[in-house]
Amino acid sequence: QDDGRMLTFGLSANVGNLIYGPSRGAAQFIVNQQLHRGLVKFDENGTVVPALAESFEAVDTSTYRFTLRKGLVFHDGTPIDSATVKASLEYLARRETGAAIYAALSTLEAIETPDAHTVLVRLSKPNASLLDYLADPNAGISPPAALAPGAVNWIGAGPFRLKANDSGVSLTLVKADTYYDKDAVALDGVKFIFYPDSSARANALIAGDVDMVDFVGWEDFERIEATPKLVLDAVPGPFVYTLFNTGRAPFDNPKVRQAIAYAINRDNVVAAAFYGHGNPLNGMPMSPGNDRYDPAMGELWSYDPDKARALLAEAGVAKGMKISLLTSSTYSFFRDMALSMQADLKAVGIDAELNAPDWPTYTSAKNGGNYDLAVAGGAPSVTGPVYMQAYAVGAPASSFGSYGYDASEIVAHIQAGEAIAGDEEARAEYAKAVRIIGDQVPFLPLAQRSQAFAYTDRVKGFRNIPGFLSITGTGYMIEKTSIR
């Protein structure tokens, strides 16, 4: 009721201390995006646009040049120059930081600062997606004080600054006068109230306690749509997929993995896990906004139980084979997805027993190869095809991949694609990688879930960015948002 220009936001998780670098989930991304700003950011179409950097340029796929804006300062008035940026990025490149974008910066060779406004980033290997990584919510440039493990990171260069932190309850942010684009910011501030329970969050919106919520639970979609003056802003978001333990029979056999790819009814997965709010996937998901988007990647397999049975018979798998299906009870959609798969597997003669421990136990089991088949969820932070690498490479090298899978061939093609500057030629390389994936099935995407924000119709100028960026990019929209 202040002057009506304060946005009250029901956030889907508790945000504790902000720490520079590591990823702590979607809710923390949104807060980071208000307080911090990196060299670049995403716009409403999912394109990388300049932020602290006034302009940027890819010298080649392993060398990038950034030119900083003039007169940049943090909320506390500390100036930002090329040295600040260098220190920040070097900190993120350290292994001990555990940074969300460590994968991209691990190949950092050198950062040069020819002058106070120019930053030159050199990589030892080509990486066409570096800009995507630098637009990640965890890559905001931070002051020197934040560059230590465990150091708090509330002061940044973002459009809002922290006013009050009611630990565990809410965060109050007000517009920062130090922001380089402050005139474009319509809100006077944002108050984030934490609502970890999704139906409590929906209730708060319906009851008018908050103006906006993130991560609407799928079972609440209809309820919110049916409520007058509420807007449900849903887009296809992250995806869910299946992992195979390729270290042991029967999933060491690509034929069996293929059989699974044909055995699962994706429509049922969407219906059961997401209450019908999602898209079935027959291949690799991808954000259409990316320059290297290729619709052919999405057509690799389809639901065909007869073919699955044939493949299984070909692989010599006996009917009634028992396997264990790892999922987690922490997220109901994980469990529902597994239940739906279980029925499909049974239909092709595979008897899957569910193992549904809590999240950390699930993670350890997954990383340790303690499963036959596992349910997993993916929210890539880059939109380019390079994202597939992290999912193709097997655990333990990459925690997103199938246990024991050797993806060197796939990686080689993806890296080759990353090294090519031209989109068209690069696409050909990625297509090769995708063909191997279609054949080998190192991981099996099943559905893209609907990711929704919801808000009152007083909220204007906000837009949920479709695709993976719904999680990593949409938070940038708040500075463009206004409220009547």
Residues numbered 244 to 273 that lie near other proteins (CB under 8 A) are 267-268, 271-272
| Residues in Cβ contact with 60 at an 8 Å cutoff, skipping those fewer than 6 apart | 126, 421
Nearer to other proteins, 114 or 196 (CB): 196
- Among 79, 144, 288, 396, which residue interacts with other proteins (rule: CB under 8 A)? 396
332 binds other proteins (CB under 8 A): yes
Number of residues counted as binding other proteins (CB under 8 A): 82
What would the two tokens of residue 300 be?
């690799």
358 binds other proteins (CB under 8 A): yes
Residue 210 half-sphere exposure toward CB, CA atoms < 13 A = 25
- Among 5, 16, 110, 425, which residue interacts with other proteins (rule: CB under 8 A)? 16
67 binds other proteins (CB under 8 A): no
The secondary structure of 336-352 as a DSSP string is HHHHHHHHHHHHTTEEE
- Among 59, 318, 343, 421, which residue interacts with other proteins (rule: CB under 8 A)? 343
The residues pairing with 375 across neighbouring beta strands, listed in sequence order, are 242
- Choices 23-31, 280-288, 412-420, 455-463; region in contact with other proteins by CB under 8 A: 23-31
Residue 391 half-sphere exposure toward CB, CA atoms < 13 A = 27
Please state whether 15 falls in left (phi above 0), alpha (psi between -120 and 50) or beta. beta
User: What counts of helices (H) and strands (E) characterise the chain?
Assistant: 15, 19
What would the two tokens of residue 350 be?
């595979």
- Choices 22-30, 115-123, 407-415, 439-447; region in contact with other proteins by CB under 8 A: 22-30
438 binds other proteins (CB under 8 A): no
Given a contact cutoff of 8 angstroms between Cβ atoms, the answer to whether 442 and 243 are in contact is no
CB atoms within 10 A of CB 70: 9
Residue 396, preceding peptide bond in cis (omega within 30° of 0): yes
The least distance separating other proteins from the CB of residue 209, rounded to whole angstroms, comes to 6
- Choices 154-162, 179-187, 195-203, 403-411; region in contact with other proteins by CB under 8 A: 195-203
* C-alpha distance from residue 355 to each of 30, 109, 335, 352, 373 (Å): 33, 43, 9, 9, 10
Given a contact cutoff of 8 angstroms between Cβ atoms, the answer to whether 33 and 117 are in contact is no
What would the two tokens of residue 418 be?
């990353």
- Choices 293-301, 303-311, 312-320, 359-367; region in contact with other proteins by CB under 8 A: 359-367
- Among 110, 364, 425, 460, which residue interacts with other proteins (rule: CB under 8 A)? 364
114 binds other proteins (CB under 8 A): no
Furthest CA-CA distance within the chain: 71
| Positions 266 through 325 that interact with other proteins (CB under 8 A) | 267-268, 271-272, 275
- Choices 41-49, 243-251, 314-322, 351-359; region in contact with other proteins by CB under 8 A: 351-359
469 binds other proteins (CB under 8 A): no
Given a contact cutoff of 8 angstroms between Cβ atoms, the answer to whether 157 and 140 are in contact is yes
- Choices 122-130, 216-224, 278-286, 308-316; region in contact with other proteins by CB under 8 A: 216-224
Given a contact cutoff of 8 angstroms between Cβ atoms, the answer to whether 402 and 434 are in contact is no
- Among 49, 73, 103, 120, which residue interacts with other proteins (rule: CB under 8 A)? 103
C-alpha span between 210 and 230 (Å, rounded): 11
The least distance separating other proteins from the CB of residue 480, rounded to whole angstroms, comes to 26
Given a contact cutoff of 8 angstroms between Cβ atoms, the answer to whether 147 and 141 are in contact is no
C-alpha span between 118 and 361 (Å, rounded): 46
The least distance separating other proteins from the CB of residue 96, rounded to whole angstroms, comes to 4
* C-alpha distance from residue 114 to each of 82, 93, 144, 326 (Å): 9, 20, 20, 52
Indicate the DSSP class of residue 176: -
| Residues in Cβ contact with 332 at an 8 Å cutoff, skipping those fewer than 6 apart | none
The least distance separating other proteins from the CB of residue 163, rounded to whole angstroms, comes to 14
Site string for other proteins, 126-165 (x = CB under 8 A): -----------------------xxxx-------------
The least distance separating other proteins from the CB of residue 260, rounded to whole angstroms, comes to 18
- Choices 96-104, 278-286, 416-424, 472-480; region in contact with other proteins by CB under 8 A: 96-104
The least distance separating other proteins from the CB of residue 63, rounded to whole angstroms, comes to 21
- Choices 13-21, 55-63, 247-255, 281-289; region in contact with other proteins by CB under 8 A: 13-21
3 binds other proteins (CB under 8 A): no
Helix (H) / strand (E) element for 49: namely strand 48-50
- Among 6, 7, 24, 478, which residue interacts with other proteins (rule: CB under 8 A)? 24
- Choices 47-55, 80-88, 214-222, 444-452; region in contact with other proteins by CB under 8 A: 214-222
The least distance separating other proteins from the CB of residue 157, rounded to whole angstroms, comes to 21
451 binds other proteins (CB under 8 A): no
Given a contact cutoff of 8 angstroms between Cβ atoms, the answer to whether 429 and 414 are in contact is yes
Nearer to other proteins, 178 or 381 (CB): 381
Nearer to other proteins, 209 or 304 (CB): 209
